[in-house]
Structure 1
């Protein structure tokens, strides 16, 4: 049988996938030029995928029934279905725990514990904890951003620096959280456990975070120390986040972890009067519906990818890429560049992982790259790029809190964590640094 990297495939079959990305990119550029807010998020990604699917049906050979069969098999792939169910549970946990006051308590607990003179470092650490607990960088920035701006005004701090620390901390958690949609997409496309991906990822993400904290400690000191304030929190309401984090790292099945987190949040919510009657189940359903876009996109791109692969599109692209790849290191660099460029085009780190996941899996399989490392690189470099593009949701939202006084472009140079993470991630590719877990468990 012909080896995978010897198949020349059919480049025309790749066209529907390129149309999907092109429509998504061009719509964002046009809307951005027209001054539309959050321009890259106005054209729904599932609709762009639908346009690509239509072209795929036109180009794929065979009867209409045969084409539908190929498409549906891609949508119903085991990894796609598992990924979608995890999305639903993650959305439910995040919504329920937030509704019972978990995010507010976690933020206020952090502000209480961290001295006012270390407020810049504190913003980074609090954002990292909230994001890794809730799995959402955007939600973290929305929760902490207004507080951060107020503290900056009182302390005479550099506003872009503090917002850069906020975005950096949010991306740290987004990258590592087991309930983040980026982690779910990266692990399912590569067929690895979240526990293993976390342990590989933290080998270079934690050193990057520590260096960032050191730099923020040195250069983020306030001119005047803000007066101490009393922040109201309830430590009990933080328990669901701690449970989910510890249970996931311990390797407990992710379905059990998330279901347990939802139940614990519900019990706490009822105990403190946050939920009454059917409000708990309504919040669960709200969490489900909040994940509809990414749920639908995963199904559609699964079907699209199967049609493109069946037509020889992925084989053609893999054949071209393999000519440039000389070994494991260049394969990992290629995967990192692929997901980074895709994120720059789509302004969505989860979409970029879903789009490039199958091809990255084939590259890593061909060049004997550990799939756990591939998953961590996909998640890491998508988050790095997402934290640095000024038209991404994270920087757009951070800049919106300043009423126009600071633009997203001005914040980019201060997202130190993303720059430092890129350096440490590349080091983990070209040197043994940060690969201790893989060496011990190869």
Structure 2
């Protein structure tokens, strides 16, 4: 209890060092015209600089600080989160290698009428992103096709780009294998399926209204001829399997492992993979998650060092002066993660940073953790989907070779704006709280942990 009462603003300096290095390098490189400027300096290196500074700035012996670092790095939730990252990366890579993403895109393009191209691209990207858990991967898969279709049919290119980015953020926010969902649920201590159900009621109205707007304003001037693309329904199966099993509540480790096995079996059956390449793709997928793995582990370590030094308690004390109750606490969580994402240009990083603070606010103001997990994910994805220097915007614009600026796309990002509105409305009108009302959170368990 003594540690919890300790409060020190100085303890937050190591975190500010991390932000300054991570954000500062991006701004400098962007000013120099470097592509993907905010993604050139590896985030784990930036957070490691923050850890080094903590050893110089925080009070206590080197042994005490090192013990706190290891305690945070080895936290059960951090290890679980990192393990899920590795499995999710393996599943996404194996599924792509066996042709799953290509089949999913081609399936949609084959059956969507040409006059509904814009809304069709939005729906296709929604499905790919919710299946793969990655907004960037979805944009890479659909973006070039979207640009080509827009040019052939006379569609507004900025509107098409906005539709693809919106669809990519739909899945990034909702997918049970998205790193944002993993981070949000683990930091808040709730189940993925429960967060999904709360989140779904908020996201679906925004998606439906977006689709209607795209139907009205996204019709092509020239309707291209209907084309048939090569696809295989069997190759789409692993995505559907993972989605369904996750929603019904099967253990996430079982779900992802089964997804990897099924994707690998399909790849072997179709000849896209051999036993050797299957194993290599599993490793490549895990290797692709090393950045977020190390970042999560180091952030957990730094957060524990800062917590023991009184930094988190100091921050909570300041936030509490502005929070008057449950509703303003929810607004505070939303604003905090949105601002953090704007600073670091990475929604997963923002959630990992703000998750422990949000958890404390939940306990203090009785905000259901399933709602806080949804709010963390929603507002980090909203901000990530609209900032001009985010990976999503930078990649989609790269396909136009400079023909479109981010400020042409920004007003047309209807899904992100509507998602934010829907989430704010849900704080005042509890239309997304069916699960929460049916099974109220057991606060006695939270109090027992303290």
Q: TM-score range by the shorter chain?
A: over 0.9
- Asked whether 1:431 is paired with 2:410, we answer no
Which residue in 2 is equivalent to 1:151? 149
1:293-308 mapped onto 2 (5 Å cutoff): 293-308=291-306
Q: 2:308 aligns with which of 300, 303, 310?
A: 310
Equivalent-residue separation in structure 1 for 2:76 and 2:3 (angstroms): 25
Q: Aligned-pair distance for 1:59?
A: 2.2
Q: Is the 8 A contact 1:161 1:220 kept in 2?
A: yes
Q: 2:245 aligns with which of 223, 244, 247?
A: 247
Cα displacement (A) at 1:8? 6.4
2:289 pairs, out of 285, 291, 295, with 291
Distance 1:324 1:63 in 2: 35
**Residue of structure 1 aligned with 2:67, choices 48, 69, 77:** 69
* Correspondence 1:19-168 to 2 at 5 A: 19-168=17-166
How far did 1:62 drift?
2.6
1:13 aligns with 2:11: yes
The answer for the alignment partner of 2:201 in structure 1 is 203
Q: 1:435, 1:40 → 2: CA distance?
A: 37
Which residue pairs with 1:365 in the alignment? Answer: 363
Q: TM-score scaled by structure 1? A: 0.98
* Shift in Å, 1:2: 7.9
1:422 aligns with 2:420: yes
8 Å contact kept, 2:3–2:310 = no
Give the alignment partner of residue 258 of structure 2, picking from 257, 260, 265: 260
Deviation at 1:433, TM superposition (A): 2.5
Residue 18 (structure 1) shift:
1.3
1:355 maps to 353
Tell me how many residue pairs correspond in the alignment.
Answer: 440
Task: Please say if residues 108 and 233 of structure 1, whose CA atoms lie closer than 8 Å, have aligned partners that are also in contact.
Answer: yes
Q: Secondary structure at the match of 2:321?
A: helix
Kept after mapping to 2: 8 A contact 1:343/1:382:
yes
> How far apart, in 2, do the equivalents of 1:191 and 1:216 lie?
37
Distance 1:169 1:9, change over 3 A: same
Give runs of ≥4 in structure 1 deviating > 3 Å: 1-4
Check the 8 A contact 2:135/2:172 in 1, yes or no: yes
Are the aligned partners of 1:203 and 1:436 in contact in 2 as well (CA < 8 Å)? no
1:60, CA displacement in angstroms?
2.6
Say which of 384, 387, 391 aligns to 1:386. 384
Distance 2:80 2:303 in 1: 17
Deviation of 1:206 (Å): 0.5
Q: State the alpha-carbon separation in 2 of the partners of residues 291 and 8 from structure 1.
A: 35
Unaligned runs of 5+ in 2: 441-450
Which whole-Å CA distance do the structure 2 matches of 1:418 and 1:376 have between them?
15
Distance 2:313 2:374 in 1: 24
Question: How far off is 1:441 after superposition?
Answer: 2.1
The aligned counterpart of 1:343 is 341
Distance 1:402 1:241 in 2: 29
Tell me how large the CA RMSD over aligned residues is.
1.2
Deviates more, 1:377-386 or 1:16-25: 16-25
Deviation at 1:61, TM superposition (A): 2.6
Q: 1:203 touches 1:437 (CA, 8 Å); kept in 2?
A: no
CA contact (8 A) 1:398 1:408 kept: no
- Partners of 2:374 and 2:47 in 1: CA distance: 25
**What's the counterpart of residue 443 of structure 2?**
none
Match of 1:398 in 2: 396
Could you list the per-position Cα deviations for residues 246-298 of structure 1 after superposition, in whole angstroms to 9, with x for gaps in the alignment? Answer: 00000000000000000000100000001124110000000010000000000
> Aligned equivalents of 1:82 and 1:344: distance in 2?
27
Residue 322 of structure 1 pairs with residue 320 of structure 2:
yes
Structure 1 gap ranges (5+): none
Provide Cα deviations, 1:52-81, integer angstroms capped at 9, x if missing partner: 101111123332222211110000000000
Matches of 1:265 and 1:10 in 2, distance apart? 50
Does structure 1 retain, via aligned residues, the 8 Å contact 2:382–2:419? Answer: yes
Inter-partner Cα distance in structure 2 for 1:256 and 1:52: 36
